[in-house]
Structure 1
Amino acid sequence: MPRKPLAVLAALAAGLLLPVLPAQAAAPPKAPACAGPRVETFGPASMTGAIVGATVHEGKAYVVTRGQKPPVLAEIDLGSRKVVRSVRLPDGPATGEPEGGWATTVADGKIYVGTYPVPDLYRFDPATGEVVHLASFGRNGGYIWALAAAPDGTVFAGTYPDGRVKQYVPATGAVRDFGVLAPGERYVRALAADAENVYAGLLDKGKLVAINRASGAVTELAQGTTGIGVVAEHGDRILATSGSTLIDVRKDGTDVRRVPLGANSFDALAVAADGTVYATSRPDGAVHRYRTGDSAPTKVADAPSQDDETRRLALTGDGTLVGFAGSGGMWTLDLSSGQSQFTDLIEAGLPAGAERPQSMLLVPGRAVYVGGHFFMDVRDLRTGEQRRFRVPGEPKDLVRRGNKIYAAIYPSGKIISIDLRTDEVRSLGLLGHGQQRPWDIEYDPVRDKLLVASAPLGAELEGALSIVDPDTGRIDVYKGVIPGQSLMSLSLDARKGVVYLGGDVLGGGGTPAVHASASVAAFDLRTRTVLWQVDPVAGHRTFQDVKVHDGLLYGVYKRNSGAWIALDLATRTIKHQGTLSGYGELTTHRGRVFASTFFGGGNAYELGAEATHLATGLGDDWYTNPQLHFEPGSWKAWAMSGRHLARIDLDPRCPLLTVTPPQI
């Protein structure tokens, strides 16, 4: 037997001779600090100068902001490239507030703007600076997607969700509704007009139609392969874009030409006096030229604003093409030299404002990242400083892997990396396969892969699970992993190598659903196969988010009054269920499950056998899912208070927290 050191043996012997003392009582748990301030705010979470509508008139450009309340209409001098005047669009009488104007046109020297999410028509007079509300074309939640002016000054509006064309006569204020253009259509996405007809592009049904202004008769000119997003007219021809096809057709519906665009689509068209068509492609933003009879467009210039959405193109008399970038920029392209110049509209004097954020990510002890429209806003937790940098779209979700953040980008379906140390942005590639709406992204640390849940854009149903190698950029896309449904969410059990998927029977919208109930599926990451699929609640069509925790899969439904469930994964039966104020995102923290939701003023809950209401009054100002990001070892969570970045105390032991959001 080996001998222990003598000192150790002596200590043991001494210990045996010590008297036995009563056990010391455990210290009582520390009481929560519920009485002090439980909300801190840090100013607007995401600032924007993004634009939607744009038009050109007599040496001036007019742009309308996106996401600000109320929207800004700004006048830009094309010579100096400076904002020389701006006005706010007043709130109309309908319920709701305008947040932008996709649609703009010029008629009789005046600027017309169609807004969302209240579909109202406004007019700005450059001579007097007066802006007036003219008409309402629907209820809160609607859009005026397109405006066009006929040669006589009559204005036409394309609306959502009723899929109508409305006529407004400036001289009398009279409004005419041309009725149903196609059964089930919701979007009139693009318009053009001449002396006899108004031409409409339908997004859901993919039809290009002509409406006779006198009789109201509707004639189908062409059927697209997908939705019609852009329309332009010139002479006896109409041009329209349908996905990766340019449609070129006579106004009487004859001589239909379908020009392939390859992997691209066109998001803006401008027609010169000689019939030459200039177009910008998506997703890259490059400039192309086309004439009737060409077998394909010709690229004339690289993107003046890389990976940007072009809201409008216009030609000036000196051979210059003017483009308006959705991220908040204006560019000019000299068509003779191919030289372009880009102007950031905030730097040019456009008033910036707080927007609805797309996503958020906490890097503990370092920074909070907030994804906006084509920009990322960052608050440095060490210094309190804020900065922003450009990203190529809307980051719908963010995840961290080491010293990089990965973002799932709409509308391209691109996956990008962001270096935490340098803010360098790099592209890993496109999901492809029609998957342009990536809703959720997680990191699998066991297999060192990114997992992305996505939906198609347009009239398709099937989404995809994509598995991305962050080092090589390889993307394996499993389309239709839930047959006939898109994917809104995923949740990883890394230990088991299983990812759980939440479905949506509506897909990209615009095509009839083939299922009545949203499914949950379990996907094995080792075999790349579906293990099982179940519909937890009949008639509930869309999972907004799912989260696996302690043998249960928690799910929040989007379209069913805040319904939530906890699904037992062993039996695939519902163990708990209830109702929240609305839908939102789930998160796990310190062995508990939390939800942050829209509606009812913005709320936070803890989910267990039932839902415990933790906070209210957070506001309904997220663009995508309301989120909570907890600090490690704490009950403090980074979130939103209205449109301001906030840190809130969500200690479950405290009473209900009522938050008063700051003014925007």
Structure 2
Amino acid sequence: MPRLLLALLLVPTVFLATPAHAATCDAPAITRYGPASLTSALVGATVHEGRAYIVGRGQKPTLLSEIDLATRKVIRNVRLPGESEGGWATTVSRGKIYIGTYPSPDLYSFDPATGEVKRLHTFGAYGGFVWTLATAPDGMIYLGTSLDGRAWEYDQDTGAIKRFDVLAEGERYVRGISADAEYVYAGLLDKAKLMRITRADGTIKELAQGPSGLVELADHGDRVLATSGRELIDIRKDGTDDRRTTIPGAWLDMIYPAPDGTVYATSGPDGTLYRYRTGDTAFTKVADAPSPGDGTRKMQLLDERTMLGITGSGGMWWLDLRTGKAELLDLLEAGMEASPEKPQTMLLVPGRAVYIAGHFSMTVRDLRTGEHRRFRVPGEPKGLVRRGDRIYAAIYPSGEIIAIDIRTDEVTSLGFLGHDQQRPADIGYDPLTDKLVVVTSPLGSKLNGAVSVVDPDTGEKDVHVGVLPDQSVIGLAIDPKRGIAYLGGDVVGPGGAPPTRTTAQVAAFDLRTRTVLWRAEPVAGSRTVQDLELHDGLLYTLYKRPAGAWIALDVAGRSIEQQGRLSFHGTMTVHRGRVFASTYREGGNAYLLGPETRHLATGLGEEWFNVPELHFEPGSWNAWALVGRDLAKIRLDPRCPKVTP
């Protein structure tokens, strides 16, 4: 995708603090610079009568765009009412487009003939997802949802809703769904099972067990297809003749059964296109990735030689199956609306730029000119760190480590962590060993996360899985004078595996010897460490479970020297010899930690995709952060009154 110059708001909006006792507090407390990150990322996509219908990701209200495939132009942008921010699920039935949304798990219909949008039903509490939709031959619509892990039926003639029985005890996600005249097929993420539901009476039968969560399902004549990690499950609808084929790459991304019986598939994270037919023992490569490093949201043959693909970054490609050549279209350039999204993370390069990571994009505010620019990255950066003229990012959902040249914006890959470590939580840099340090959670229903040591020049990786037994590794702090990484755990795990421990650990990991120096469980029953910061011999530990609890742990004697409670979890940073925190809840807050915690700001909003952050300018009390979804500079001088926008 070419670099896009964004016309963001360049004239700042200023908010004044409460009148203060000192002259230093008279200056504006908050300066806003417009949307921090604009997104064209998308999740749901479908095709109907020469038009593509795509659903934005992270936009509020949710965006539905209609693209004319002949002219390759967006001809209509429609906003869905309500509290949703995107929609993974789309299907077509009787000429209407149906969309399932999140985090308000709603079902909508859109009539292309009239432009009418209707919200039809809500499937549970806010925070849930409608992950998947399918249309049966008679027009009945079927849904899979989370966090209840249920399958549903929607009758568009009567508006009647039917919820099927529990498919597997403890399941939270029905991630894939398909339907034929007699059955509904559901793919379970936590339990990695393929289930069959008899439409007439709701009878449930297990057809197959996968090696990892089942995500994509497709009807294939007398067979049903399901993706399970790298594996394609190809099975008869009665549960017999179970065939398994593994795709090259880290996972099987998207599948599309063509009318002639050929199954086309893309592999993640690279995006290479393959084909398969029942009975094949391997996938056959068709073409290199039309959009390298991108997720595929939809594939469909337009004619016997042209495959259409729609990508997660907000692109569309047309691939000639005979030559392997592809044309790529940026949907922003085609007329798709860009909207402010929840940023992933942020990094300040003092005196030069602020980098704001979004979904498949990086937005840069040039501090010298005030201009904004935007370029593509291959996923969601979950952490950023600087070393010299390069910024390094840890990417979800691939576990890829990338480098960004701050002079040219060139993005290069250092490769993938592997070892099922595809959920990065943070990345740091240790100047003593000149190595990058990445902490991760595992993919799927596993418990053991890792700390990885990465050479920034060669990309060589040393991955230590299970460094904190039976827990993810989320928190990271580095002692740059001793070459020690401090790690914080999460016993809950990301994929639904039952916890085996009740208390999250913190640990000291020697980056020179690659060994654990010590482990501790400082607060019994605290299950998730959200963030760590090291200052003056104390390891400040902010918990997510229980939310907002924090301690200062003496790293020499492992005794708790300070403790307190904030509004919720978030992140911490050390600046001018003090420890600051930014948190969710109660409007979004900033604090100064210590024996007497000070509340420095409130009302900042809760619009971070991951956790709130503060990035201080050297030599001042000004921190770059968010106010709502706007990039902002906030004065957090401890001598001044509390800041409120």
TM-score by length of 2: 0.96
Aligned partner of 1:616 in structure 2 is 602
| Secondary structure in structure 1 of the residue aligned to 2:624 | strand
Deviation string, structure 1 residues 376-428 (Cα, Å, up to 9, x no partner): 00000000011001111111110000011001111110111100111110001
Which of 42, 49, 63 in structure 1 is aligned with 2:33?
Answer: 42
Aligned partner of 2:16 in structure 1 is none
Amino acid at match of 1:86: N
Aligned partner of 1:237 in structure 2 is 223
Query: Retained in 1: the 8 A contact 2:183–2:199?
Result: yes
Cα distance in 2, alignment partners of residues 191 and 338 from structure 1: 31
Aligned partner of 2:286 in structure 1 is 300
Identity of aligned residues (%): 64
Aligned partner of 2:296 in structure 1 is 310
Cα distance in 2, alignment partners of residues 281 and 263 from structure 1: 6
Greater RCO structure (CA 8 Å; 6+ sep): 2
Aligned partner of 2:13 in structure 1 is none
Which of 37, 58, 65 in structure 2 is aligned with 1:74?
Answer: 65
Cα distance in 2, alignment partners of residues 85 and 134 from structure 1: 21
Aligned partner of 1:87 in structure 2 is 78
Deviation string, structure 1 residues 214-261 (Cα, Å, up to 9, x no partner): 111111111000100111111100111111111110000000011122
Aligned partner of 1:119 in structure 2 is 105
Cα distance in 2, alignment partners of residues 165 and 573 from structure 1: 49
Aligned partner of 1:365 in structure 2 is 351
Query: Retained in 2: the 8 A contact 1:32–1:653?
Result: no
Counterparts in 2 of 1:201-600, with a 5 A limit? 201-600=187-586
| Secondary structure in structure 2 of the residue aligned to 1:80 | coil
Give the 3 Å change call, closer, same or farther, for CA 409–78 of structure 1 in structure 2: same
Aligned partner of 2:42 in structure 1 is 51
Q: CA RMSD in A?
A: 1.1
Amino acid at match of 1:602: G
Q: What is the CA distance between 1:307 and its match in structure 2?
A: 0.3
Deviation string, structure 1 residues 629-648 (Cα, Å, up to 9, x no partner): 00001000000010000000
Cα distance in 2, alignment partners of residues 372 and 610 from structure 1: 35
Q: What is the CA distance between 1:32 and its match in structure 2?
A: 5.1
Cα distance in 2, alignment partners of residues 142 and 607 from structure 1: 34
Amino acid at match of 1:179: D
| Secondary structure in structure 1 of the residue aligned to 2:545 | coil
Which of 574, 582, 592 in structure 2 is aligned with 1:606?
Answer: 592
Cα distance in 2, alignment partners of residues 535 and 134 from structure 1: 48
| Secondary structure in structure 1 of the residue aligned to 2:47 | strand
Aligned partner of 1:6 in structure 2 is none
* Matched residues, number: 625
Cα distance in 2, alignment partners of residues 577 and 625 from structure 1: 21
Structure 1 residues not aligned, in runs of 5+: 1-29, 92-96, 660-664
Amino acid at match of 1:279: A
Cα distance in 2, alignment partners of residues 170 and 418 from structure 1: 49
| Secondary structure in structure 2 of the residue aligned to 1:33 | helix
Amino acid at match of 2:535: H
Aligned partner of 2:6 in structure 1 is none
Q: What is the CA distance between 1:315 and its match in structure 2?
A: 2.1
Cα distance in 1, alignment partners of residues 113 and 162 from structure 2: 28
Query: Retained in 2: the 8 A contact 1:231–1:239?
Result: yes
Cα distance in 2, alignment partners of residues 632 and 328 from structure 1: 36
Aligned partner of 2:161 in structure 1 is 175
Query: Retained in 2: the 8 A contact 1:227–1:243?
Result: yes
Q: What is the CA distance between 1:318 and its match in structure 2?
A: 4.3
Task: Say which one has the larger Rg.
Answer: 1
Aligned partner of 1:8 in structure 2 is none
Amino acid at match of 1:475: K
Aligned partner of 1:637 in structure 2 is 623
| Secondary structure in structure 2 of the residue aligned to 1:558 | strand
Query: Retained in 2: the 8 A contact 1:577–1:610?
Result: no
Query: Retained in 2: the 8 A contact 1:120–1:134?
Result: yes
Cα distance in 2, alignment partners of residues 489 and 641 from structure 1: 25
Give the 3 Å change call, closer, same or farther, for CA 518–538 of structure 1 in structure 2: same
Q: What is the CA distance between 1:35 and its match in structure 2?
A: 2.6
Q: What is the CA distance between 1:572 and its match in structure 2?
A: 1.1
Query: Retained in 2: the 8 A contact 1:334–1:340?
Result: yes
Query: Retained in 2: the 8 A contact 1:576–1:610?
Result: no
TM-score by length of 1: 0.93
